[in-house]
Structures are given as structure tokens and as C-alpha cells.
Amino acid sequence: MRTLPHRAGFCPEREALIPFPCRVQLGTKRGTVRASRALARYTYTMNANVNGADRPSFDFDGRAIPVAPGATIAAALIAAGERVLRQSRLGDPRGVFCGMGICQECLVTVDGRPGQRACMTVARPGMRVNRSPALVQLDRTPPMEPQPTRGGEVSSPPNACMGGASDRGDETQSCDLLVVGGGPAGLAAAALAAEAGLRVVLLDERTKLGGQYFKQPAGVDPRVPSDRQFAAGRALIRRVIDAGVEVHSETCVWGAFGLDAIDAVSPRGRQRYSCRALVLAPGAYERGVPFPGWTLPGVMTTGAAQTLWRSYGVAPGKRVLVSGNGPLNMQVAAELTRGGASVAAVVELAGAPLPARGRALIAMARAAPSLVRAGLHYRGVLARARVPVIYGATIVRADGGGHVHSAQVAGVDSSGRPDLSKLRHFEVDAICLGFGFIPSTEAARSLGCRHQFAAGFGHLQTVVDACGATSVDGVWVVGDGAGIRGAWHAQAQGELAALDVLRKLGVKPSGDSLQSKAERAVARQKRFQEGLAKVYHAPILTDQLAEPDTAICRCEGVTRQAVSRSLADGAGHAGTVKRETRAGMGPCQGRYCGPVIGAMVARSLGEEPGEMSGYSPSPPMRPVEIGAVVR
């Protein structure tokens, strides 16, 4: 039977681009795969097409950029081939890196207001977008005015962090439970607590709920079929809405001073939240591993590439190299390959699968068979497309002019040191990096919650009990902020935290079996993650790939040589290095350079990193306009 989608990639009712390939039955498996790839290439071409005069567009430095419904500025620009979004303080070009509003590398000027994150700001027809210069002349910056679109509508203000909030005055809102973070853990906690009768307010920085794992497609007809990940996220989000949770999107929490003083800013203005219980579900961000060329436009995290593809139907490039450690890299490479992008190789830091790891694989299959099946499926997609998977290796260099043009790959030893005598060269226009994750702990640390350094994972994480309760009464931390264990563990842990909140507030949950069900899910996912850690065991990379002139701090351009010089002069703490070199003083606030410099300091002192090794937390936890902080 031969079936074809209407208009090959468009939903007839919404004219929204499908962000994943439709399966086209042409009678043979090979024909299906080829048609799927062709359709994805068509989708990408339609996204990147700048000749469609009838399509809505915005102005980017004098060029009309088409925009699909719900797409961010970053997605629209990358689809149109625009990689360079700003200049660093040293004048070199920068583009999208993290794709989730952490790194601040994609800052642009929107309708005269500088400092807007292109990856978090929804593109509106008629808006004016400009590349950000290295130094913004704030005294000459015109105030932002709402811009009329072609249809006469007025564009909404940009995202709150780094500008965009109005000064309509302070608001203080009270609730029983305040949940910060709209990923799997936060959604599960909010839904269960609201179903039991609590007044729940959920704050999320994005325009749509779901977090990184359950990110939903933008502007796509809900009848379009999707995979299990899309469907599970959609169901959980629907549960939150049906439970009556008060959701505040585009709300950036910049200060956590106590249960009665959680400060945030949004396009609606600045707010202060007061609650009887606080559940933090901050998630995590991808580890930064500096190497020559890692700041070039076109070099981004694997999570950024997945967001571009799954949410907006935009491939990060035409020929992509994926490098790092962990299963997410395999998934993203398979999704891009299945969608028609050319993946040059997947470079995995861990060694090749060995029979000795069979026991770990069996444990994983028993704990979460569906996840193992998904992993085998991704590996099969790459094998059928003849995408090479290079084990025990990593990217060591990226080269290019205005954006990345090529990459070099080398094997590594057990300590993560590369063997530069044997290099493999790849011509690519995009590089996706996924070297694991760092928990977001800023809010929990600001509140005084106890933390510990997880030596086996190379990061700091919040110390919690089985239900997510921290050392501070009334504060729970769930999900990746309390340790990287995956989305399904996070969701179950969020439910356990909600049940614990209900007990503390004297409210009986709606079901007696909820506790045991969530506990079993947590136990299963822990077993799965333990096996996964063994299968993907690899050295933790910090500064092993950096040359003396490689920037360790992306924001301030502080090199490895400058950090080493500071350590040689006697700096015994990351804070001292920060004061002497400015490393960590940029807009990302040390999130990427902090773990690297902390490891370098610990090595110079001959001791293991600990809770006090990194930068101290301080408000604002995210860059915001001064008007949001001064009261």
C-alpha cells in the first residue's frame, strides 16, 4: 500500500512543519527509509528557504528570515544558515551553544533591546533582530517598543532573563507548594500535589512545559503521530493542566532567600513567591569540555541539536559530527540520520562494548527493557546508514573561519589524555558535544542545602533523602539537580517528593498505592542507571584537551595558560582564580568554566574536589536587568 502525507511535511490545518520524518509506506523497507529521509530533507529545505515571500518573517541585520509557528529566533536563524549571532568581548564570533538559555552565547538585540537569548525567545513576524556587538552602548540603546506585524498584531516582549521584564511593580504571590522547573520531576510533583487539593504554582523559564527530555514540538498539529518520548511528555503536561496547577511560563527565578522570598522576573514584571513547601526541579546542563575551536559558531551541545530537531524541525547542519560520552549522543545521531542529515561519525569516549559488560546490559534490560530496546534501535539506525561509531576517542580540535568547517578526532588513554599522533579529519559544518551533565544547584545552594561532590561523575549535587528532602526544612530537590539519573527516575522522584510534601502539610493523598508504585519505579531506574554507568564508563574530561591558548572561560576569554599561571602564583581556590583572571565573571556565571577550574585547582593542591571547591552561589542566579533586582 502506498500512502503519502498531505503536502509532504505540512499539516493542512496549521501549516506547521513536522519536526520529525513521517513514515511513508512504499512497499519496501529501503523505500520507506529513503522516503523518510527525503521528506526530512524537504522539511529542512522549507525551514531554510528564504525565497518564500508569502511566509511570515522577521528582519535580521537587513535580511528577511522566514519563521515557522512557535520557532525560536535561534531555530529560524540556523535554518536560514545564519550561525553568527554575536561577538565576544575579544571580538570573535559566537553562536548557539547550549540551546537552553544557560550559556548566554546566542544573545541578540530584539527591537532595540540588547541581551535577548535567541534560543529562548520566540520569533515573531515583524520583529527586528540584530547581532550583538562585543560591547553594547547601553546609554544609546533605544527603549523597546512593541513592533506591529504584517497582520497588525503587536509582538510580545522578549524573554525575561537578560532583559524584557516590565517595571509594573512588585507582586507577591502565596501558595501551598511552589515548584520551580517544568521538566519531568517538576511536572510530576506539581500534578500529584494539585490532585490532592494543594494550591500549586509552577514556575518555568521556557515558553512550553516539558524541560529538556519532554520538550514538545512547536506549532505542530496535535494529531501528528509522535514517539513515546513526545507522547509521555504530552500526557504529563495534560495531567498538570487538568489538575489545576497554576503555571507561570517564561518566569526566571533569580534569587532564593527562603520559603517566603523566591524572587523571579517575567514579561509580566517582577514577582516574589511565598510558599509552605518548595520543590526545586532545576534540571542539569551539559558539561563544558574546552578544546581548540570549541567556541566557534556551529559547535553546540547535543541537547541544543536535539532541541532544534525535535522541537523545530531544524538540523544543526548538513554534515554533523557527534562527540562525547553517553547514550544521548547515539539517540541524537540516530534521529538526525533518520531525518536525512549526514552524520559524519559518532565519537564515543567510552571503550567499545565488551563481553565483560554483558552483566550490566542484562541488569539494564531487566530494569527498563523499553529503554534498552530504544538504545538498540538507535544503534541499528546508525549501522544501516553506515555511520561510523568510533569508541575510546574524542574530538580534539575544531577549525573554521566565521563558523566551524572541520574537526579532528583522536583516541584517549584511561586518564583522558589524547593521542595526537593519530588524528582523523572530518569535514563538517556542525559539531554536537555531549560529555555528560552538571546538576543545576544554584538555588539549593543559595538556600543553604547541603551538597556533596560526586567524585565518580565529577560534579556537585544536592544531598537529599529517598523522597528528595534536603537538609533545609521545607525544601525538596528532585530530578537531575540531586544527581543525574535520567528522566524516568526524575519523574518517579517528583511523585515521592509530592507525597512527602502532603504528609508534612497534613494532607492525605488520593491513592494508597502511589508511594509503593513510585518507590518501585525509582528502584528500577536506579538499577538501570547503575548498569548504564558501567557500559559508558569513561574518564571525566576537564582541561585534558585544552592547549595553552584555549579559552577555559567562554564568556571572558580566559585561557588555560592564564588559569595555570594563577595557580602557579599560589591561587588555592576557584574564587581566587576568578578574582585574578575574571574567569567565571561572564553571563553564564561560571557554569561551564567552574567545574574545569575546580578540577585544576584540586589537582594543583593534590586533593579531591569537594563541596567548597567551586564558585560561591550568589544572586542573581541568572543575568537579569538591574531593575528586577533593585526594589
The pLDDT of residue 170 is 62
123 and 64 assigned to the same domain: yes
Whether residues 126 and 234 fall in one domain: no
Q: Is the pLDDT of residue 223 over 50?
A: no
- The model's pTM is 0.87
Strands 389-391 and 393-400, bridge-based pairing: unpaired
Query: What's the pLDDT at 69?
Result: 87
Q: Is residue 617 part of a domain?
A: yes
Q: Helix 487-504 vs helix 514-535: angle between axes, to the nearest 10 degrees?
A: 150
What was the pLDDT predicted at 627? 79
Encoded amino acid at 460, one letter: L
pLDDT at site 420: 94
- Per-residue pLDDT at 403: 94
96, 120, 137 — which closes off a domain? Answer: 137
Instruction: Reply yes or no on whether the pLDDT at 487 is more than 90.
Output: yes
Shared-domain flag, residues 73 and 121? yes
Same domain for 277 and 209, yes or no, is yes
Same domain, residue pair 197 and 260: yes
Q: Which cell goes with 355?
A: 563481553
Q: In this structure, are 126 and 174 located in the same domain?
A: no
Q: Percent of the chain having pLDDT more than 90?
A: 72
Distance, in Å, from the CA atom of 68 to the CA atom of 70, rounded to the nearest integer, reads 6
Residues 412, 335 within the same domain? yes
Of 617 and 564, the one with more pLDDT: 564
Residue 503 lies in a domain: yes
CATH of the domain at 128: 3.10.20.440
In a domain, 334, yes or no: yes
Report yes or no on 311 lying in a domain. no
pLDDT exceeds 60 at position 186: yes
**Can you give the residue range of the structural domain that contains 457?**
170-285+449-510
Predicted pLDDT of residue 413: 96
Residue at a domain's end among 117, 137, 157: 137
Question: How many H-runs (helices) and E-runs (strands) does the chain carry?
Answer: 15, 28
Domain boundary among 405, 434, 463: 434
Q: Quick one: 281 and 182 in the same domain?
A: yes
* CATH assignment at residue 354: 3.50.50.60
* 8 A C-beta contact, residue 125 and residue 57: yes
Q: CATH number, domain at 607?
A: 1.10.10
Same domain, 613 and 583: yes
Higher pLDDT, 165 or 59: 59
The amino acid at 531? G
pLDDT at 20 over 70: no
pLDDT value of position 162: 53
Does the residue 494 lie in any domain? yes
CA atoms within 13 A on the CB side of 157: 21
Confidence of residue 50 (pLDDT cuts 50, 70, 90): very low
Mean of the pLDDT values across residues 415-434? 96
**Is residue 464 located within the same domain as residue 421?**
no
Q: In 72-141, where does DSSP find H-type helix?
A: 73-79
Domain tally for the chain?
Answer: 4
Cα separation, 501 vs 507, whole angstroms: 8
Lowest mean pLDDT among 125-139, 231-245, 525-539: 125-139
Statement to judge: residues 330 and 354 lie in one domain: yes
489 and 578, same domain (yes or no)? no
Query: What DSSP letter does each residue of 518-546 carry, written as one string?
Result: HHHHHHHHHHHHHHHHHHT--PPPSSTT-
Q: How far is CA 360 from CA 327, 364, 531, in A?
A: 15, 6, 5
Mean pLDDT of the chain: 86
52 falls within a domain? no
Three cell numbers written together for 482 = 540531586
Residue 322 forms beta bridges with which residues? 346, 432
Residue 212: pLDDT above 60? yes
Specify if 300 maps to a domain: no
Q: Is 614 inside any structural domain?
A: yes
Q: How confident is the model at residue 359 (pLDDT cuts 50, 70, 90)?
A: confident
Quick one: cell of 549? 591558548
Confidence category of residue 228, pLDDT binned at 50, 70, 90: confident
Instruction: Give mean pLDDT, residues 361-390.
Output: 94
99 pLDDT more than 50: yes
Three-class SS of residue 384?
helix
Hey, how many other C-beta atoms are within 10 angstroms of the C-beta on 232? 18
Taking CA 70 as the corner, what is the angle to CA 67 and CA 75, rounded to the nearest 5 degrees? Answer: 55
